[in-house]
Amino acid sequence: MKILIIDDEKNIRISLTRILEDEGYEVESCGNIADAEKCLEEVDPDLILLDVKLPDGNGIDLLSRIKKIMPFVPVLMISGHSSISDAVRAIKIGAFDFLEKPLSLPKVKIAVKKAIEFYDLSMKLRRFEADSLRGWRMIGKSEPMQELNKLINRVAASNAKILIQGESGTGKELIARQIHRLSTRHDKAFVKFNSAAIPRELIESELFGFEKGAFTGATARKKGRLEEADMGTLFLDEIGDMEPAAQAKILRVIQEGEFERVGGNQTKKIDVRIIAATNRNLPEMIEKGLFREDLYYRLNVVPITSPPLRQRKSDIPLLIDHFAKEMALELAQKPKRFEADALQLLMDYDFPGNVRELRNIIERIYLLTDREEPTAEELRRLIAIKDLGEKDAADFWNETIDFREKRRQFERRYLEEQLGKHDGNISRTAEALGLQQGNLSRKLAELDIKRD
């Protein structure tokens, strides 16, 4: 934890520095407002001790400016001659407490400890509220989900790097958040960085932060996502879209635990757990020179596959119920119930967009119909996919291509569907199809069908 002391009396700065460093804090100090404003640009304090009377201005005015740029950093005001009105004004602006000179060093230590505890609790509450609002929950009781949860529980407590692979919309971020919640870092920050959502030229400055003047428009120093995740978890979503220069810097963070901000030369140490995710084939990208092989092996310590919805169809009713309640709450409507034929229609659909597509469909139903029990016919109309599987089937049979390729397509499609009906369980699928389990396993490997 970093503490900044702003006081014009040198002896007080020395005394406070000694007792706070003895308590294990990093301490910086300065004696006037001009130096303090420079120091605030260079140091990211977790707590500030600020004198009211300074040689070049009023500390309360500086407090007001600090609260605009660092609203969550607690400030302890120090004064030897201030009035009650000064104290009241400081508290209204956002000071955590008001300490009178001559300072009692034991009282200072207690006040500092309370301020930092309050800051930590405030940060935890903000993160909890943010997660609660987003409703981060993993829904499902199918065999693939049970296996996934076992793996998560097994690796969460470690600091091992994790690479989550899977199709878009399968819930890779949910997996990352669940790992963080079950880890020893659960009370620290979970910070997401999506390489695909940020322009390539801004990836490094957003990830690593930048110094004032690093580029046009950099009017003040800014922390990056990596620094925000210190002591917590950094989730690198869509890692396959990260540009090569940023890949090299992330590799250095993993290997050495250090980095520099863009435009800076000060090396910063960092302690962060990295979880990465992608829907792209990284080994293929490595062969094409689009992704660093050494970074892939550093990230892929524990590989986790997020199963597509078609491989856990027994979870669809649970997901529909969850999303229906969520939409009802969000839109202030009564929860909708789905008739058997409507539910079966959704169960028969393969959901190429996975869980995200299912959620979008439920939201569309809530927005576009007043019926409390939507029918299958209404569902077809609202989703705007005629007969769902039937249209797709017609396209499949009408396509004219090489016979062997069409047979391979059929076998792959049929076996994927059967696996989905049995939640990815090979032995149950083989029994249902009248096949030997070994023969089915070989056929799945031949068709490159992944059951995870």
List pLDDT tens digits, range 365-389: 888 887 888 888 888 877 754 444 4
Q: Looking at the chain, which residues constitute the CATH 3.40.50.2300 domain(s)? A: 2-126
pLDDT attached to residue 130: 53
Check residues 192 and 41 and name the one with the higher pLDDT.
Answer: 192
Q: How confident is the model at residue 136 (pLDDT cuts 50, 70, 90)?
A: low
Task: State the Cα–Cα distance between residues 328 and 316, nearest whole angstrom.
Answer: 18
Q: Looking at the chain, which residues constitute the CATH 1.10.8.60 domain(s)? A: 311-387
Of 197, 296, 196, 205, give the one whose Cα is nearest residue 247.
Answer: 296
pLDDT attached to residue 292: 95
Q: Is the pLDDT score of 174 beyond 90?
A: yes
pLDDT attached to residue 33: 93
Task: State the Cα–Cα distance between residues 236 and 226, nearest whole angstrom.
Answer: 10
Q: Which CATH class is domain 140-307?
A: alpha beta
Which ranges in 54-196 belong to alpha helices (H)? Answer: 59-69, 84-93, 105-134, 143-155, 172-181
Q: Looking at the chain, which residues constitute the CATH 1.10.10.60 domain(s)? A: 399-446
* Average pLDDT rounded to a whole number, residues 137-141: 86
Q: Is the pLDDT score of 411 beyond 50?
A: yes
For domain 2-126, the question of CATH label 3.40.50.300 is answered with no
* Average pLDDT rounded to a whole number, residues 289-315: 94
Task: State the Cα–Cα distance between residues 255 and 253, nearest whole angstrom.
Answer: 6
**Which fold would CATH assign to domain 311-387?**
Helicase, Ruva Protein; domain 3 (1.10.8)
Lowest-pLDDT range of 20-24, 148-152, 337-341: 337-341
Q: What is the dihedral of CA 329, 333, 338, 343, to 10 degrees?
A: -50
Please state, for a pLDDT cut of 70, what percent of the chain lies above it: 92
**AA letter at 449:** I
pLDDT attached to residue 127: 63
Task: State the Cα–Cα distance between residues 256 and 260, nearest whole angstrom.
Answer: 12
Q: How confident is the model at residue 272 (pLDDT cuts 50, 70, 90)?
A: very high
pLDDT attached to residue 207: 92
266 burial type by CB count under 10 A (0-12 exposed, 13-18 middle, 19+ buried) = exposed
pLDDT attached to residue 138: 86
Within 8 A by CB and 6+ apart from 175, the residues are 138, 148, 152, 164, 277, 304, 306
Radius of gyration (C-alpha) of the chain in whole angstroms: 28
pLDDT attached to residue 406: 66
Its CATH architecture, for the domain 399-446, is: Orthogonal Bundle (1.10)
Lowest-pLDDT range of 191-200, 233-242, 273-282, 296-305: 191-200
For residue 410, the Cα-to-chain-centroid distance in whole angstroms is 38
pLDDT attached to residue 132: 53
Of 116, 96, 107, give the one whose Cα is nearest residue 24.
Answer: 116
Of 438, 417, 416, give the one whose Cα is nearest residue 427.
Answer: 438
Average pLDDT, the chain: 86
Lowest-pLDDT range of 8-17, 265-274, 424-433: 424-433
Task: State the Cα–Cα distance between residues 289 and 271, nearest whole angstrom.
Answer: 29
Beta strands in 167-272 (DSSP E): 190-194, 233-237, 258-259, 268-269
pLDDT attached to residue 115: 93
pLDDT attached to residue 36: 92
Q: Is the pLDDT score of 405 beyond 90?
A: no
Maximum CA extent, the chain: 93
